[in-house]
């Protein structure tokens, strides 16, 4: 079958599937302090609808699926969806991004259902700062989730860390030391803060973080890691920890973007920055055949924009709200 290409010749093999926009955290860079109006349950794709759509995507060359949210573990019976997606021919990488707050109680169940890997969002190792950044999260529960994931074989675990200037940048070396104590289980990735709707915080460019680390550690370039992400990887020679820098603002990777995002309400977001996404849910619920859904997907992907215009300092913030997009 013809690969899933856009008008700029980019071939897509990676689909992020948001199962909910709800989250048990209220992270300062993800949503405004007053909170959000959540999607209505009737507007969310059912697990059966997600499975059908992923099957169609797989037929067009999507091989990697990442479950996201909001926080995916706030949706009930997620292991049932994992098991269904794992049976789809062509899907060879099934992963999830989570805050791990609820992971301790379900890591083994998810692994048994077919989940292969997890990424965990973790921006601080200080309990008080962690609680402030997440507006109420408990660090001890997240750390317990990491241990449960290791025991379940969901590794190596990629730790996603957003470093904000003047807020948690003092922990840069603490993070390297903590996860570098067990490099066989963890990879650490630093992700530039991406402003949605408004710029609430000050981002630190990947080059600045790399310079700070290079002043203390010996960094050597590393090969590609597991998965199809945009990280540029390095190895810290002193402890063997693999670290990555994801630079969507200072050095964007739009020209090689291979990913799509299926939002929890069925809208296909072809670019992280673009909120004007059509609804596959409505096409599906209006009785479309698989062939008609495939045609709708191809039309949406063809219209994918060339790239975003957000910058480290200035430019155009991304449209929408991060918790609804799926990261």
pLDDT at 309 over 90: no
Query: For residue 1, what pLDDT is reported?
Result: 76
Over the stretch 57-79, which tens digit does the pLDDT of each residue have? 999 999 999 999 999 999 999 99
Longest dimension (CA), the chain: 59
Mean pLDDT, the chain, rounded, equals 89
pLDDT at 40 over 70: yes
Residue 58 makes CB contacts below 8 A (sequence gap 6+) with 88, 89, 90, 91
- Which of left, alpha, beta for 284 (phi over 0: left; psi -120 to 50: alpha)? alpha
Over the stretch 207-253, which tens digit does the pLDDT of each residue have? 899 999 999 999 999 876 655 555 679 999 999 999 999 876 666 66
Topology of domain 14-325, per CATH? TIM Barrel (3.20.20)
Predicted TM-score (pTM) of the model is 0.91
Query: For residue 227, what pLDDT is reported?
Result: 57
Query: For residue 190, what pLDDT is reported?
Result: 95
Taking a C-beta distance cutoff of 8 angstroms, is the pair 38, 263 a contact? no
- Res. 312 pLDDT band, cuts 50 70 90: very low
Of 143, 150, 162, 142, which is closest to residue 73 (Cα–Cα)? 142
Gap between the Cα atoms of 265 and 21, Å rounded: 9
Distances (CA, A) of 290 to 91, 116, 142, 301: 18, 28, 40, 16
pLDDT at 311 over 50: no
Query: For residue 193, what pLDDT is reported?
Result: 78
Q: What are the structural domain ranges in the chain?
A: 14-325
Over the stretch 159-203, which tens digit does the pLDDT of each residue have? 999 999 999 999 999 999 999 999 999 999 998 877 555 556 677
Across 40-59, average pLDDT = 97
The pair of three-digit structure tokens given for residue 136, joined into one six-digit string: 């109420």
């Amino acid at each position: 079958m013809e690969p899933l290409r856009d008008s700029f010749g980019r071939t897509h093999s990676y689909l992020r599937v948001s199962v909910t926009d709800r989250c048990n955290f209220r992270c300062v860079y993800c949503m405004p302090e007053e909170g959000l109006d959540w999607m209505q349950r009737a507007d969310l794709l059912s697990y059966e609808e997600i499975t059908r759509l992923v099957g169609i995507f797989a037929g067009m060359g999507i091989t990697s699926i990442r479950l996201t949210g909001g926080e995916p573990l706030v949706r009930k019976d997620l292991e049932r969806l994992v098991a269904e997606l794992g049976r789809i021919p062509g899907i060879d990488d099934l992963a999830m991004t989570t805050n791990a707050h609820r992971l301790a109680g379900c890591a083994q169940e998810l692994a048994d259902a077919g989940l292969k890997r997890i990424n965990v969002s973790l921006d601080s190792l200080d309990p008080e700062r962690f609680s402030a950044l997440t507006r109420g999260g408990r660090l001890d529960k997240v750390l317990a989730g990491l241990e449960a994931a290791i025991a379940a074989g969901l590794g190596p675990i990629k730790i996603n860390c957003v470093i904000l200037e003047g807020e948690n940048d003092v922990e840069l070396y603490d993070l390297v030391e903590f996860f570098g104590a067990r490099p066989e289980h963890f990879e650490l990735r630093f992700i530039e803060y991406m402003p949605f709707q408004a710029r609430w915080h000050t981002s630190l460019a990947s080059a600045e973080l790399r310079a700070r680390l290079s002043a203390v550690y010996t960094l050597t370039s590393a090969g590609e890691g597991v998965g199809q992400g945009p990280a540029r990887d390095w190895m810290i020679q002193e402890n063997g920890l693999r670290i990555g820098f994801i630079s969507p603002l200072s050095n964007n990777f739009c020209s090689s973007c291979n990913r799509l995002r299926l939002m929890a309400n069925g809208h296909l977001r072809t670019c992280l920055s673009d909120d004007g996404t059509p609804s596959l849910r409505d096409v599906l619920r209006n009785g479309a055949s698989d062939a008609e859904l495939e045609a709708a997907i191809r039309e949406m992907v063809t219209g994918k924009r060339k790239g975003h215009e957000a910058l480290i300092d200035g430019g155009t913030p991304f449209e929408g709200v991060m918790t609804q997009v799926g990261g």
